[in-house]
């Protein structure tokens, strides 16, 4: 009898050892799909590193090319009467940028849903990525019926950063965003220095003199499908650079350009901070003050709102 019990115990030990071994072999190797990223935040082959985990790269939306060269960055006092109000848009200065690509459109809800399905965009981390539409009057487009072709909004900086990394890209710097919006000649708007911004050119919230109210989203009450305002296209072919949603960019806030305007080649802004920059104005922006190519806004990287979205660069 004693021999039988010893045999049973020995078999149990063997089974446990095999089971544990099988569990260990199921763990993805570093750098492989589902495994941890390498120390330099890279992965094997075409895999991408998002939040320290390797994923298969998502499919990027259409992008436009912005050639290498100089452009004028900041508020152009020759064409913009708002400059005296906004010192942090100064000085107006030359910047050189290497060639890059930027999204032809803002990232849509349908595109972001694919990132969520992959697991790369999620609310499981210390910093949530996005909010969805929970009520009929919610300004958030995610999970809202009929809005897959509208810009993803209610997204944090972390959620924007994760998406752009998932498609093998990144958030644009402020300088990259501004050049893509205005070109090289210091335009006030993507379409030129005039006419003034209106619903003919941007998804915005103009004041309605007859009702005394604001016609948010040009009367829709929110965002519109990306590319709805072809008159507002930028010199490089990017749509909605003004209006629809504010767009998170890479840079930390906050300063005027004087502290790093001397870094005229591919500037990336301050090296640290507690707020991140966004650009472009949105569907409930009413005035010329923010609906300009040089206008700036900042927010906590954990902040999300119905008027904030994203666009990626490569």
Q: Tell me, what CATH number does 157's domain have?
A: 3.90.1580.10
The reply to whether 39 and 79 lie within a common domain is no
Instruction: Let me know whether 97 and 129 are in one domain.
Output: yes
Residue range 264-286, pLDDT digits in tens: 899 998 889 999 999 999 999 99
| Phi, psi angles (nearest 5°) of residue 188 | -75, -40
Same structural domain, 228 and 94:
yes
Structure pTM?
0.89
What are the tens digits of pLDDT across the range 44-97?
998 999 988 999 998 889 999 999 999 999 999 999 999 988 899 999 999 999
Report pLDDT for 15.
Answer: 42
Residues 46 and 77 in one domain: no
What does pLDDT average to over the chain? 89
Q: Both 39 and 86 in a single domain?
A: no
Task: State how far the Cα of 285 lies from the Cα of 279, in Å rounded to an integer.
Answer: 12
Question: What pLDDT is stored for residue 184 in this prediction?
Answer: 97
Are 93 and 117 within 8 A, CB to CB? no
pLDDT at 260: 64
pLDDT above 50: residue 165: yes
Query: What is the structure's pLDDT at 198?
Result: 96
* Gap between the terminal Cα atoms of the chain: 72
Please work out, in degrees rounded to the nearest 5, the angle formed at the alpha carbon of residue 85 by the alpha carbons of 79 and 86. Answer: 85
Which 3 state secondary structure label does DSSP give 250? strand
Same structural domain for residues 143 and 274?
Answer: yes
Do 41 and 84 fall within a single domain? no
pLDDT digits (tens, 9 = 90+) for 184-193: 999 999 999 9
Domain that holds residue 312: 60-314
What per-residue confidence (pLDDT) applies to 283?
97
- What is the number of domains present in the chain? 2
Contact 295, 194 (CB under 8 A): no
Cα–Cα distance, 160 to 154 (Å, whole number): 10
Of the pLDDT bands very low, low, confident and very high (cuts 50, 70, 90), residue 207 is confident
Classify 3 as helix, strand or coil: helix
Q: Which distant-in-sequence residues (6+ apart) come within 8 Å of 305 by Cβ?
A: 139, 153, 154, 299
* Spatial distance between the Cα atoms of 63 and 272, rounded to a whole number of angstroms: 29
Q: Which H, E and C letters describe 114-168, residue by residue? A: HHHHHCCCCCCCCCCCECCCCCCCCCCCCCCCCCCCCECCCECHHHHHHHHHHCC
Asked if the peptide bond before residue 91 counts as cis, ω within 30 degrees of 0, the response is yes
Q: Are residues 50 and 139 in the same domain?
A: no
The answer to whether 314 and 164 have CB atoms below 8 angstroms apart is no
Judge if 66 and 127 occupy the same domain. yes
240: in domain? yes
Distance CA 266, CA 179 (A): 11
């Amino acid at each position: 009898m004693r021999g039988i019990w010893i045999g049973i115990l020995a078999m149990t030990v063997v089974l446990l050892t095999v089971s544990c071994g099988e569990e260990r072999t199921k763990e993805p190797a570093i750098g492989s799909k589902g495994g941890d990223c390498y120390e330099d935040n890279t992965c094997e082959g075409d895999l991408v590193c998002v939040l320290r985990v390797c994923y298969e790269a998502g499919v990027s939306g259409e992008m436009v090319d912005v050639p290498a060269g100089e452009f004028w960055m900041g508020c152009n006092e020759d064409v913009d009467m708002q400059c005296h109000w906004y010192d942090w848009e100064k000085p107006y200065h030359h910047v050189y940028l290497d060639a890059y690509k930027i999204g032809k459109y803002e990232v849509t809800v349908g595109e972001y849903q694919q990132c969520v399905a992959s697991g790369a965009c999620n609310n499981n981390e210390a910093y949530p990525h996005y909010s969805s539409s929970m009520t009929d009057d919610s300004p958030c487009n995610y999970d809202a019926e009929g809005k897959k072709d509208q810009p993803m909004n209610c997204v944090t900086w972390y959620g924007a950063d994760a998406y752009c990394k998932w498609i093998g890209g990144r958030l644009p710097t402020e300088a990259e965003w501004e050049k893509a919006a205005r070109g090289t000649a210091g335009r006030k708007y993507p379409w030129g220095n005039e006419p003034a911004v209106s619903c003919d050119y941007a998804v915005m919230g103009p004041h309605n003199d007859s009702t005394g109210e604001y016609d948010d989203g040009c009367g829709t009450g929110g965002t519109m499908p990306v590319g709805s305002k072809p008159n507002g296209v930028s010199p490089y072919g990017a749509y909605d650079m003004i209006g629809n949603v504010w767009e998170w960019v890479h840079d930390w806030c906050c300063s005027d350009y004087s502290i790093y305007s001397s870094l005229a080649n591919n500037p990336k802004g301050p090296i640290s901070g507690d707020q991140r920059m966004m650009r472009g104005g949105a569907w409930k922006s009413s005035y010329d003050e923010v609906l300009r190519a040089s206008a700036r806004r900042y927010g906590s990287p954990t902040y999300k709102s119905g008027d904030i979205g994203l666009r990626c660069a490569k």
